[in-house]
Structure 1
Amino acid sequence: MRTTSINILAWLLILFVGGCVDPYRPPEVASPNSYLVVNGFFDSAPGAPTTIRLSRTQNLADTKAPTVETKAVVTIESQNKAVYTLAEGTAGTYTLAGVTPRTGENYRLHIRTAKGVEYFSAYVPVIQTPPIDSISWRKENNGVQINVNTHDPTNNTRYYRWEFDETWEYYSAYTSTYELINNQLVSRAVQVDRCWSNASSTNIMTTSTTRLSQDVVSQFPLTFIPGSSIKLGVKYSILVRQIALSQTGFDYYDQLAKITQNIGSIFDPQPSQITGNLYCATNSNELVLGFFRVGSVATKRLFISRSQIPDFRAITGYESCTTDTLTLAEIRKNQPAVITLYDMTRYLTTSTFCVDCRLRGGVIKRPDFWQ
C-alpha cells in the first residue's frame, strides 16, 4: 500500500510540474526586426550577367512570403573607383550586363535602400573556379551515390562549395487518349502522361584541401538517391555547380552549415549569430545577411538512365491506380479520366490523378537539355 501511494504521488508531481512548464521562446524568434538578406555575386564569366537579389528576414511565426527589397540603388565598385549600377527588373532583383570583372582587381557591393540605409561589403578579389573533372555515381546501399571530382593544378583554389539542380522524367500510370469537353468525348489535344520534375540542393556543401599536398577533391559526396525513388524511374539528370571560395567565404559557409544542418543533439554546435562580409554603414548594430563574392561558377551535367540500374524498382506513387469501364452517360455523370475505348458501348476509365502527371508537380514541356 505504501509503494502504491508513493507511485501515485510521484505521478501527480510529474503532472503538476509538467503543467507549469512554458515553452521557451527566445526574443529573436518573435522579434519584429527585419534584416536585409543579400543573395548573388559578381560573375566573372565572359558575357555572363550579374544578378543580386535583396529580401528581408521574417520571424518564425510569420507565415507570409518573405518581403523583397525594392527601389534600392545597387552598385558594384572597384578599388580603382569604377562604379557599375545594377538595374531592377523583377521586384527585388537587380542585374548588370556587359561588365566582366578584371582579374587582379578588388570589388565591393554597395546598397542604398529607398529609406536611405546604406550597406557595403568588404572589397573582395576575383576568384576563378577550376572546371569540374567529373561527376561520378555508383550503386550502394540499395541506391545511387553521386560524387564530384575536381582539382586545381596551380594549387591556388583550396576552398570549394557545391550546389546542384536535379531533373527527372516520369510517366503517369495510364495514357489518356480522350477527354470530355462540353459533354462530348474528343481526342486529347495535349498528352499529359509524360512529365519532368525538378528539385534543387538545400544543404550547404563545402570542403577544403588545405591539409593536402595537392589541390585535389576526389569523390566528394553530393547526394544519395534511394533505389525506390521516382527520380530513378525513367531518366535522371543532375547539374552540379562548383564555386571556388576565399578562406573568409569558406569559413562563413562552413559555420553556417554547422549551425543550420547539424543541430539536433547536445553535442552539435549551438545556434549563434553568423555574419558574412557585409555590414550596415548607417547603423553598425544592424545585421545584414549574406556573402558577396566575385568570380566564376563551373558546371557539369550527368544523366542516369533506367537501363543502367535495372535491378532497382521505383515507387511511382501510382501503385494504387485502378481502372473501370463506363458508358458515355456514366462518364458525363461521374467525370472520370478516359483512357481509351473498351468496347462498342463502354470506355476504360480511371481517376484524373492516374493519367495527368502534372498533378504530381511536374511539367509536360521537355527541358531543352534533355537527351
Structure 2
Amino acid sequence: MKKSILLQSVIWVVVLLAAGCVDPYRPPEVTSPNTYLVVSGFVNSAPGTTSTIQLSRTQNLTDKKAPTVETKAVVTVESSTKATYTFQEGSGGVYTLSGVVPRAGETYRLRIRTAQGKEYLSDFVPVNVTPPIDSVSWRVENDGVQINVNAHDATNKTRYYRWEFDETWVYTSAYNSHYELVNKQILRRTESVYQCWGSSTDKTIQLGSSARLSNDVISQRPLLFIDGASVKLSTRYSIQVKQYALTQAAYDYYDQLAKITQSVGSIFDPQPSQITGNIHSTTNTGELVMGFFRVGSVEARRIYIAKTQLPPWIPGTGHGSCDVDTMSASDILMKEPGIIDEVDRLYLTTSLYCLDCRLKGGVTKKPDFWE
C-alpha cells in the first residue's frame, strides 16, 4: 500500500510495449508529482488496547527513497452519537488512541485534518466482533510443514475474515564462541552469540469467506508452507495468528487489493486497476485516498513446533562451510577471524558468520512470550 495503486497500472503498459518492437512509452503518471494519502490501521474495540493509525504518502514508481510520512495531522474518530476521540501523534506518522472502547451497535468514522488544511473523512462503519480462532493446525506434507487456520461463528454473522501472522524461531550458530576481538585485544565474551531468535511478519493479504456456505465455518484455510530445509524448523518454531472479522465492503476492498499487489505477474493474472476504499477527501472530491477504515476486535492464537515433532530434515544453515583453523594471537590480530576457544595458547578460529548468530538477522534476547 505504500505505492500508489493507481500508478501500478502503468506496469502493464511498460510490459506490453517492451514485448514488441516499438518505441517505449512513458506515461506521465510515472513521474507525476501527485502524492496521495495512505491510511493504515484500525480502531481496536477490545478493552485495554491501543488503536493505531499510520499516515503516509504514496510515491512514484521511479522514487527510491522511503515514502513520506504525514505529520502534524489531527486524527479523530467520531461516533454516530456525536462523541469524538482524538488520537495522539507519535513518531513516523503514527497516531494512537488509548482508553476508548467502541460500543457494539454504534457506528464510527475517521476524520483527518492535515497540517496543509486538507480534510479526509471515512464512511461510518460498524463495530465488528471477531469470533475466536478455533485452532491453528499444522501437518507434514511435501517435505515441509503446512500451517492452516480454523474458525467459525455460531451466529452466522461474520462470514468475512482476514488473518495476519508473525513468525518466530530459535536457531544456533555452528560453534559456540568464547572469545572475541575488541580493539586489538582478545577478550572473553560477556554475551553469548550462539543462540538467537529470528522473526518475520507476513506482508501478504490473507482472506477467507463462508458467504457461500450454509454455516459460517472456515476449515483448514492454508496460511503458509515452510520447507523442511528452512532454518525456521532447525530447533523450535512459533507462529502467532491474528484474526479479524470484516464487513463485505472491507473484504471486497482487501480482495481486490490482494489481486493487484499479489497476483500480477503474467498475462493470465488480474490486470491492475484503481480501487476505492471508504476514506474520501472532503476538500477535493477527485483526490484519491488509499486505505479502509474499520472498527473491531482481534483474536489471536499462538502455537509452537519443535524439531523433535518433525522428520529428520537437515536444515540449510550453511554450517557445512564453517571450516576450523588454528591460529596464534598474532595471526588473529592480523586476520581478525572469529574465535571459538583457546587450546594450549593457540586459538580455534572460523568465520564470524559461523559464530555470531546475530549476523543471520536474529537477536540474542529471548522474546517475552517464548515458552
TM-score of the pair, normalised by structure 2: 0.93
Superposed CA offset, 1:77-106 (max 9, x none): 011111101110113111111110010000
Cα 1:334–1:258 change in 2 (3 A) is same
SS in 1 for 2:28: coil
Alpha-carbon distance in 1 for matches of 2:28, 2:322: 49
Structure with greater Cα Rg: 1
Alpha-carbon distance in 2 for matches of 1:154, 1:216: 11
2:229 matched to 1:235? Answer: no
Map 1:23-42; keep pairs closer than 5 Å.
Answer: 23-42=24-43
Cα 1:300–1:110 change in 2 (3 A) is same
Deviation of 1:319 after TM superposition, in Å, equals 2.5
Map 1:73-84; keep pairs closer than 5 Å.
Answer: 73-84=74-85
- The percent of aligned pairs where both chains have the same amino acid is 62
Map 1:1-371; keep pairs closer than 5 Å.
Answer: 21-342=22-343, 344-371=344-371
Q: C-alpha root-mean-square deviation of aligned residues, in Å?
A: 1.5
Alpha-carbon distance in 2 for matches of 1:215, 1:113: 41
Q: Name whichever of 19-28 and 285-294 sits farther off.
A: 19-28
The amino acid across from 2:351 in the alignment is S
The amino acid across from 1:168 in the alignment is W
Cα 1:346–1:300 change in 2 (3 A) is same
The amino acid across from 2:347 in the alignment is Y
Alpha-carbon distance in 2 for matches of 1:18, 1:227: 38
Deviation of 1:26 after TM superposition, in Å, equals 3.5
Cα 1:32–1:348 change in 2 (3 A) is same
Alpha-carbon distance in 1 for matches of 2:59, 2:205: 21
SS in 1 for 2:322: coil
Alpha-carbon distance in 2 for matches of 1:41, 1:93: 12
Cα 1:228–1:22 change in 2 (3 A) is farther
Alpha-carbon distance in 2 for matches of 1:287, 1:61: 19
The amino acid across from 1:341 in the alignment is E
Deviation of 1:143 after TM superposition, in Å, equals 0.5
Alpha-carbon distance in 1 for matches of 2:291, 2:283: 17
Cα 1:287–1:313 change in 2 (3 A) is same
Deviation of 1:182 after TM superposition, in Å, equals 4.0
Q: Name whichever of 264-273 and 248-257 sits farther off.
A: 264-273
The amino acid across from 2:360 in the alignment is R
Cα 1:118–1:338 change in 2 (3 A) is same
Alpha-carbon distance in 2 for matches of 1:95, 1:217: 32
The amino acid across from 2:135 in the alignment is S
Deviation of 1:20 after TM superposition, in Å, equals 5.8
SS in 2 for 1:100: coil
Superposed CA offset, 1:129-172 (max 9, x none): 00001000001111000000000011100000111011111111
The amino acid across from 1:87 in the alignment is Q
Structure 2 gap ranges (5+)? 1-17
Cα 1:83–1:19 change in 2 (3 A) is closer
Alpha-carbon distance in 1 for matches of 2:180, 2:258: 49
Q: Name whichever of 225-234 and 23-32 sits farther off.
A: 23-32
Alpha-carbon distance in 1 for matches of 2:124, 2:21: 53
SS in 2 for 1:95: strand
Deviation of 1:18 after TM superposition, in Å, equals 8.7
SS in 2 for 1:319: helix
Deviation of 1:332 after TM superposition, in Å, equals 1.4
Cα 1:138–1:24 change in 2 (3 A) is farther
The amino acid across from 2:320 in the alignment is E
Cα 1:321–1:22 change in 2 (3 A) is farther
TM-score of the pair, normalised by structure 1: 0.93
Q: Name whichever of 29-38 and 106-115 sits farther off.
A: 29-38
Moved segments of 4+, more than 6 Å:
none
Alpha-carbon distance in 2 for matches of 1:263, 1:118: 33
What residue in structure 2 maps to residue 12 of structure 1? none
The amino acid across from 2:249 in the alignment is T
Alpha-carbon distance in 2 for matches of 1:79, 1:329: 75
Structure 1 gap ranges (5+)? 1-16
Alpha-carbon distance in 2 for matches of 1:163, 1:23: 40
Deviation of 1:265 after TM superposition, in Å, equals 2.4
Superposed CA offset, 1:284-323 (max 9, x none): 1100000000001110001111111132211013321111
The amino acid across from 1:355 in the alignment is L
Superposed CA offset, 1:47-96 (max 9, x none): 11111100000011111011100000000001111110111011311111
What residue in structure 2 maps to residue 9 of structure 1? none
Cα 1:24–1:145 change in 2 (3 A) is farther
